[in-house]
Structure 1
Amino acid sequence: MGPISRRDFVRLGAGAVSVAAAAKSIALEPSVLAAQSAPSDRKIRFVSIGTGIRGCDLLRSAKKVQSGVCVGTADLYEMHRKAGVEAYGSEVPTTKDYRELLDRKDVDAVVVAVADFQHRHVVLDCVAAGKDVYCEKPMSHNVADGLAMVKAVQDGKRIFQAGSQRVSSTVFKKAAEIYKSGRLGEVTSIEAYTDRNSPSGAWVYPVAPDASAETIDWTTWLRDAPQRPFDAARFFRWRCFADYGEGVAGDLFVHLLSGMQCVTGINAIPERAYSTGSLTHFKDGRDFPDLLVTLYDYPGVRVNMHCNQNNAAGDITIFYGKESTLTINGNTLTVTSQDTRPQPEGYALDGWTAETKKKYLDDWHAAHPQAPAPLPATETYSAPQGSDDTADHLSNFFQAVVTREHVVEDEVFGNNCAIACHMANHSYFHKNVAMWDAASQTIKG
């Protein structure tokens, strides 16, 4: 082992030991939002439009939030209406026509959990009725819908929150705190992915045994989507079809994008997006790929994102900083320092003579007489046991209904995130780079 290798071995070995010895594992404090009442102890009276999969999830979480009380639900499917009552665990009025709920003067807010293509109409009806709105992600089905929703919310002076709950996660809030502190150094690259490997993860949901044109109001459900005969598979697996959903971009990218925006503070539409992908396994008549990979250009940072429905590699977001790397893996956050401490050149000296190499090393060590400081400790933060990000997200919304202060994931944040999803799909289907044209408020390319 030559002089340079021996010195580096001792120096770097000592540093590695110090990192291992000083590693910190910290459990984050539970959020108190869901357990608290809203300011002035006012309970927000809300109704839920849509009590399918996500609608029932929201109602189960809403039971934990003391600042809100559900006073009604609506759904076009008979079983969904019954499931919603069971999910909330309380007998609340339920109807097929959501407009009956909007006519009620005792309703403060509405939780919208319908298919993507119905968001615009339902949200605009809610705003016209003077209600504040929590709308599930993605906020819109297309660019025009999102712009119309933003205008209606702002003109009506309504409180709006999009439903990507990781924005209220204790883990992502801690990540935002660390990012804002500058500890990561300059961040020029972000990677994010969430993968699944099951039919359910690709929305091949079972068709309920009682599903029929008699139990589901198919005509009303289609609304202004292309008319077609009753198709139970399309009703239950609507995310697969462009007439109703946004595929993996609208279901999964939207969480990654909203988390990225939350941590970095970037609240903007990407300048451009380039997608590739494939429909490899789930060739069941769907429109969308089961693998989508997109590169985004955001101001000052590049984002590499993918979702694969053929391999369950996890749900991970990584922020690559010059000084440290921040990784969020599920409910765990880790900050690992980069080794940027001064050290002598090694590889490039292989082409020097022994005499020249020795002089370089002697000079370098004379200029750096002190031993290098140990690397900062690796820090790991974990979400508190039993945490419910959806309950916290609903609590944020209910408090905003009282205070009239904007939430983080308001109509602008939600629309920017949704447009990024639309750009990913646009690039994939048009096989080119999708560019955002701010002047015309459209996707070009």
Structure 2
Amino acid sequence: MKNENANSRRKFLQQIGATSLLASTPSIATLGVSAKAEERILTYEKKITSNDKIRIGVIGYGVQGHFDLRTALKVPGVELAGICDLYNGRLENAKEQFGKELFTTNNYKDLLDRKDIDAVLICTTDVWHARITLDALAKGKHVYCEKPMVYKISEGYPVMEAAKKSGKVLQVGSQRVSSIGYAKAKELVAAGEIGELNMVNAVYDRQSSIGAWEYTIPKDASALTTNWDKFIEATEKMAFDAKKFFWWRAFKEVGTGVAGDLFIHLLSGTHFMTNSKGPESIYSTGQFSYWKDGRNLPDVMSGVLQYPKNKDHAAFLMTLQVNFISGTGGQEIIRLIGSEGVIEVSGNNITLKHSLMPEAPGFGGYDSLFTFSKSMQEEMQKDYDAKWTPDQRRRKVKEDIIFKAPVGYDDHLDHFTNFFDSIRTGKPVVEDAEFGFRAAAPALSCNESFLSKKIIQWDPVKMKLK
């Protein structure tokens, strides 16, 4: 195993050796031992080319729908064919942006019926994801579905089956899995650079009202202008509530809260970097700390997930954290902690720091040795000196490295480029239905654990609740 790791590490270092060396930074202290830190910029070689034209329809033109469409249209050869949204004001906005001739509708099936649409972007409330995905695949459309892929775990199985049978591309919208930074972290973990993985700490905090989903509600919001009856068709009957329509992520009737919005980014990214199939036990708790605005899913939430050993990694514990009133000002960090170091992933940049144990066991200092009799201390010191050389007693030092993505790099664009490349070439997507479900199921289980106050048991291989 050590030889395999050494070979893998050599191969990795050869790959990154071709990258641009920016500068030697000041020494980084690692447990009291200073080591030279090398800073490299991650190379970005993906070329976006235009092959066959792909015409897309957008279903759900809210905040994420706008961002997704804006990015999708940056990929050469991609054209907009139509937009669907339940709020009339957003359809007006679409025509203002793209012209009065743009096809718009309140009924997503109108887009699916159009023969000039090759693919759809599903950017609706979570409760609609599975239903629209199944309908789109049945109509022969390629699908880009925002995360979480499903609103309920039970919806995952028919979606995976339909994606497999359809012959169409389905990609889930957790863009970090297309990040060049995450790809480098994945290589480093596989190369054994941090030793044996044992813990992952993942945080996605925010500190703003908009970050907590308190989006601006239009003055004309009503049951009529939002097509409310259609909106609640996929869920329980409810009286019109503008907050549930425009702040839907915060309400369990139509959204999946911080678990479905942000835990899932942390989960999908970690699964990609570690090649994991998922956890076997899931526990989550949360509270309503600051945004007491009627929401029924917490604004501060944590999860603890246990991942079993498999052929790609040792058993590890994962902690998840989202804090919507964080004095840090907000942060997105995943720390992959191993027996010999830690990789910190911040956005698309990574920092690798090593901390290696000496070969010899600890002896003296903050130890029980000084509590023994003087003669015993001398005898044991003599034995220790005879068994362990000075070199074996020292911590080994390994260079720390900082990797940075190029200025202006956009993993969201890479994710869409991968989606459209898959449509054009038939190559696998980076986040297919199975990958999307393996991230969605633990995220949704975090909500179930919070609501039921129970530990959820999950089979990561069979993808079933135990």
Q: TM-score, normalising length from structure 2?
A: 0.85
Q: Any idea what SS the aligned residue of 1:70 has?
A: strand
- Corresponding residue number in structure 1 for 2:22: none
- Corresponding residue number in structure 2 for 1:359: 382
Q: Match for 1:25 among 35, 39, 42? A: 39
Q: Match for 1:420 among 438, 442, 453? A: 442
Contact conserved, 2:30 with 2:354, CA < 8 A, in 1? Answer: no
The one-letter code sitting in structure 1 at the alignment partner of 2:183 is K
1:383 correspondence with 2:405: yes
Q: CA deviation at 1:201?
A: 1.8
- Corresponding residue number in structure 2 for 1:323: 340
Q: CA deviation at 1:351?
A: 3.1
1:438 and 1:62, CA in 2 relative to 1: closer, same or farther beyond 3 A? Answer: closer
1:345 correspondence with 2:363: yes
- Corresponding residue number in structure 2 for 1:75: 85
Comparing 210-219 and 408-417, the one that deviates more = 210-219
- Corresponding residue number in structure 2 for 1:10: none
Comparing 347-356 and 129-138, the one that deviates more = 347-356
Comparing 173-182 and 210-219, the one that deviates more = 210-219
- Corresponding residue number in structure 2 for 1:262: 272
- Corresponding residue number in structure 2 for 1:7: none
- Corresponding residue number in structure 1 for 2:190: 180
1:14 and 1:97, CA in 2 relative to 1: closer, same or farther beyond 3 A? Answer: closer
Q: Any idea what SS the aligned residue of 1:228 has?
A: coil
Q: How does 1:39-438 map to 2 (within 5 A)?
A: 41-84=51-94, 92-266=102-276, 268-299=277-308, 300-313=315-328, 314-342=331-359, 345-346=363-364, 347-348=366-367, 349-352=369-372, 353=374, 355-356=378-379, 358-360=381-383, 362-364=385-387, 367-368=389-390, 375-436=397-458
Q: Any idea what SS the aligned residue of 2:267 has?
A: helix
Tell me how far apart the structure 1 counterparts of residues 387 and 460 of structure 2 sit (CA, whole Å): 52
Comparing 400-409 and 251-260, the one that deviates more = 400-409
Tell me how far apart the structure 2 counterparts of residues 224 and 410 of structure 1 sit (CA, whole Å): 24
Q: Any idea what SS the aligned residue of 2:295 has?
A: coil
Cα displacement string for residues 26-60 of structure 1 (whole angstroms, at most 9, x for unaligned residues) = 12123525x333xxx22322211111100000111
Comparing 121-130 and 345-354, the one that deviates more = 345-354
Q: Any idea what SS the aligned residue of 1:398 has?
A: helix
Equivalenced residues, count? 424
1:396 and 1:377, CA in 2 relative to 1: closer, same or farther beyond 3 A? Answer: same
1:226 and 1:178, CA in 2 relative to 1: closer, same or farther beyond 3 A? Answer: same
Contact conserved, 1:67 with 1:399, CA < 8 A, in 2? Answer: no
Comparing 166-175 and 87-96, the one that deviates more = 87-96
Q: Any idea what SS the aligned residue of 1:262 has?
A: helix
Tell me how far apart the structure 2 counterparts of residues 166 and 351 of structure 1 sit (CA, whole Å): 53
Tell me how far apart the structure 2 counterparts of residues 420 and 178 of structure 1 sit (CA, whole Å): 25
Tell me how far apart the structure 2 counterparts of residues 430 and 177 of structure 1 sit (CA, whole Å): 38
State the identity %. 36
Q: TM-score, normalising length from structure 1?
A: 0.88
Contact conserved, 1:52 with 1:84, CA < 8 A, in 2? Answer: no
Q: CA deviation at 1:404?
A: 2.2
Cα displacement string for residues 299-356 of structure 1 (whole angstroms, at most 9, x for unaligned residues) = 2221111111121531111111111211112332100001323355223332353533
Report the RMSD for the aligned CA atoms in angstroms: 2.5
- Corresponding residue number in structure 2 for 1:8: none
Tell me how far apart the structure 2 counterparts of residues 143 and 391 of structure 1 sit (CA, whole Å): 29
1:373 and 1:341, CA in 2 relative to 1: closer, same or farther beyond 3 A? Answer: closer
Contact conserved, 1:277 with 1:291, CA < 8 A, in 2? Answer: yes
The one-letter code sitting in structure 1 at the alignment partner of 2:107 is D
1:89 and 1:391, CA in 2 relative to 1: closer, same or farther beyond 3 A? Answer: farther
Tell me how far apart the structure 2 counterparts of residues 419 and 111 of structure 1 sit (CA, whole Å): 21
The one-letter code sitting in structure 1 at the alignment partner of 2:316 is V
Tell me how far apart the structure 2 counterparts of residues 115 and 70 of structure 1 sit (CA, whole Å): 21
Q: CA deviation at 1:153?
A: 1.3
Q: Any idea what SS the aligned residue of 1:243 has?
A: coil
The one-letter code sitting in structure 2 at the alignment partner of 1:123 is T
Contact conserved, 1:31 with 1:392, CA < 8 A, in 2? Answer: no
Comparing 256-265 and 146-155, the one that deviates more = 146-155
Tell me how far apart the structure 2 counterparts of residues 290 and 56 of structure 1 sit (CA, whole Å): 25
The one-letter code sitting in structure 1 at the alignment partner of 2:243 is A
The runs of 5 or more residues in structure 2 that have no matched partner are 1-28, 309-314
Tell me how far apart the structure 2 counterparts of residues 192 and 274 of structure 1 sit (CA, whole Å): 15
The runs of 5 or more residues in structure 1 that have no matched partner are 1-12
Contact conserved, 1:110 with 1:126, CA < 8 A, in 2? Answer: yes
Contact conserved, 1:56 with 1:84, CA < 8 A, in 2? Answer: no
